C-alpha cells in the first residue's frame, strides 16, 4: 500500500452517517446501563458491636455492588426496616432428595412460611405449590416467587420476591455458588435493589451443630458468585439475630476473613463496566474513520468493515485469554486497549494480508 494513494474517500456527511450507528449503539448502551466503572474496594469490616448498634454496616463494594452486613430475624416485627428503595428479594434454599424427588425444608424456609402465613397467606400457598411442583431437579436450580403482600402488611415483610435455590441433601460450595449466580442474574433482570442473603445450606438456628457447609465455604461461595452489574445495588449478608453472642462473633470473624481474601484476590479493581461491548464500539468508530481514507462507504462496504473488525476484536480477546495476556486489573486493560488500537488503526493493512504471499516470495 503506497501512502501517496491515501485520500479521504467520503464526504463529511457520509462519514457522519457511517459513524452514527456505532456511536448511537455506544450511547444507548451507556443509557441503558449507566454504570461506568464496576469498582471493588473495602471500606470496613463486620464489627459486631457496630452491627448490633446500627443494624447494618458496609464492607465496601464488590464489582459495583455495595456489600452490607445486617443482623436480623424473620420473626422480628422490625424485620428489614433498614432497607431503602425497592424491589427487595430474600434468597432461601430448599433441599431435594434426588432419588425420591421430594422436597425438604430447613429452619429458614419454615420461618419464611410462618411469616407469610401472617402477612400474605396467598403467597404462602403459592410457595408451597411451587415447591411441590419441583421436579427434574438439578443442584443450584432457581425458583422465583413474586409476592403480593398488601400495602398495609408490606412493612411487616418488605419483600417483593423470594428466590429459592434448590440444593441436594448434602450440598457443597459449588452447588451454592451456582445457585447464587442464578439468583444474582435474576436480580439483574428484575432490577432488584436490595437482596438479602441469610446463611444458606447451614443449620440456620444452630450453626455449630450438624452444619451442612462451613460458614467460610458459604461466604466464599457468596462472594465468588457476584458478577459486575447494576443490580442488586445492595447485597446484605444476614446474620441470624437469635444466635448466641459467641456464635455471632465467630460468624463475623469468618465473614471478615472471606471478605479480606476476596478483596486481595480481586483482579478487577479498575474495570470498565461492559468493557468488551464498549471498547469494541469505541475502536470500531476509530476503525471506520481510518478506513474512511481508503474506502468509499456504501451499505455493503460499511457492513464488510464493521463485521470484519468486530470479528477480529472478538478473536483477539480469545487469543489474549489463551495466552493469559489479559489478566491483571490495569495491565490487562492496557493490553486490551493496545490490541484494539492496533486493529483499528492498522485494519486496512491487516485485512490485506494473504498467507499465499508468503509462499510466492519463497518460490
Assigned C-alpha cell, 42: 473495602
DSSP 272: B
CATH code of 41-265, in short, is 3.40.220.10
Among all chains, which residue has been given the C-alpha cell 404462602? 124
204 in Cβ contact with 243 (< 8 Å): no
For 88, the grid coordinates are 427487595
For the entire predicted model, the pTM comes to 0.72
CA distances, 23 to each of 27, 214, 270, 307, 338 (Å)? 6, 49, 24, 16, 21
Q: Which residues pair with 238 in a beta bridge?
A: 70
- For the chain, 363 residues long, give each residue's pLDDT as a single digit of tens: 444 444 567 888 888 999 999 999 999 988 887 777 667 777 878 888 888 888 889 898 888 888 999 998 888 888 888 888 889 999 998 888 766 555 556 778 888 888 999 888 999 898 888 887 776 677 888 999 999 988 888 888 899 999 999 888 778 888 899 999 999 999 999 999 999 999 887 764 544 444 467 888 899 999 999 888 888 999 999 998 888 888 888 889 999 999 999 888 775 544 677 778 888 999 999 999 988 888 889 899 999 999 999 998 888 877 766 665 555 555 666 777 888 888 888 888 887 776 666 666 555
Sequence-distant (≥ 6) Cβ neighbours of residue 156 within 8 angstroms: 77, 79, 115, 118, 119
Ramachandran class of 191: left when φ > 0, alpha when ψ lies in -120 to 50, beta otherwise: left
Where do the structural domains in the chain lie, given as residue ranges?
3-33+274-362, 41-265
Provide the β-strand partners of residue 92: 164
| Of 158, 166, 250, 239, the residue nearest 204 (C-alpha) | 239
Amino acid at each position: 500500500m503506497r501512502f501517496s494513494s491515501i485520500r479521504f474517500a467520503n464526504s463529511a456527511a457520509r462519514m457522519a452517517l457511517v459513524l452514527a450507528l456505532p456511536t448511537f449503539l455506544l450511547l444507548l448502551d451507556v443509557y441503558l446501563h449507566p454504570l461506568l466503572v464496576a469498582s471493588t474496594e473495602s471500606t470496613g469490616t463486620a464489627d459486631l458491636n457496630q452491627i448490633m448498634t446500627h443494624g447494618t454496616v458496609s464492607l465496601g463494594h464488590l464489582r459495583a455492588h455495595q456489600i452490607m452486613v445486617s443482623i436480623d430475624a424473620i420473626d422480628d416485627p422490625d424485620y428489614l426496616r433498614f432497607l431503602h428503595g425497592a424491589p427487595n428479594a430474600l434468597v432461601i434454599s430448599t433441599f431435594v432428595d434426588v432419588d425420591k424427588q421430594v422436597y425438604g425444608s430447613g429452619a429458614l424456609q419454615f420461618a419464611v412460611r410462618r411469616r407469610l402465613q401472617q402477612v400474605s397467606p396467598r403467597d404462602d400457598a403459592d410457595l408451597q405449590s411451587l415447591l411441590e411442583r419441583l421436579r427434574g431437579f438439578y443442584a443450584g436450580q432457581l425458583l422465583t416467587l413474586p409476592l403480593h403482600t398488601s400495602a398495609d402488611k408490606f412493612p411487616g415483610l418488605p419483600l417483593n420476591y423470594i428466590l429459592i435455590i434448590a440444593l441436594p441433601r448434602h450440598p457443597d460450595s459449588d452447588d451454592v455458588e451456582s445457585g447464587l449466580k442464578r439468583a444474582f442474574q435474576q436480580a439483574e433482570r428484575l432490577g432488584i435493589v436490595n437482596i438479602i442473603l441469610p446463611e444458606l445450606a447451614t443449620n440456620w438456628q444452630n450453626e455449630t451443630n450438624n452444619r451442612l457447609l462451613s460458614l467460610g465455604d458459604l461466604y466464599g461461595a457468596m462472594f465468588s458468585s457476584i458478577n459486575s452489574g447494576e443490580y442488586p445495588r445492595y447485597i446484605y449478608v444476614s446474620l441470624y439475630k437469635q444466635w448466641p453472642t459467641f456464635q455471632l462473633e465467630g460468624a463475623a470473624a469468618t465473614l471478615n476473613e472471606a471478605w479480606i481474601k476476596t478483596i486481595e484476590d480481586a483482579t478487577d479493581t479498575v474495570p470498565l463496566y461492559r468493557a468488551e461491548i464498549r471498547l469494541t464500539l469505541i475502536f470500531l468508530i476509530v476503525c471506520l474513520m481510518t478506513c474512511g481514507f481508503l474506502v468509499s462507504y456504501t451499505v455493503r462496504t460499511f457492513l464488510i468493515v464493521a463485521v470484519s473488525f468486530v470479528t477480529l476484536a472478538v478473536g483477539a480477546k480469545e487469543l489474549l485469554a489463551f495466552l493469559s495476556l489479559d489478566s491483571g486489573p490495569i495491565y490487562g486493560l492496557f493490553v486490551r486497549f493496545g490490541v484494539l488500537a492496533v486493529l483499528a488503526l492498522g485494519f486496512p493493512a491487516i485485512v490485506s494480508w494473504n498467507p499465499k504471499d508468503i509462499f510466492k516470495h519463497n518460490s
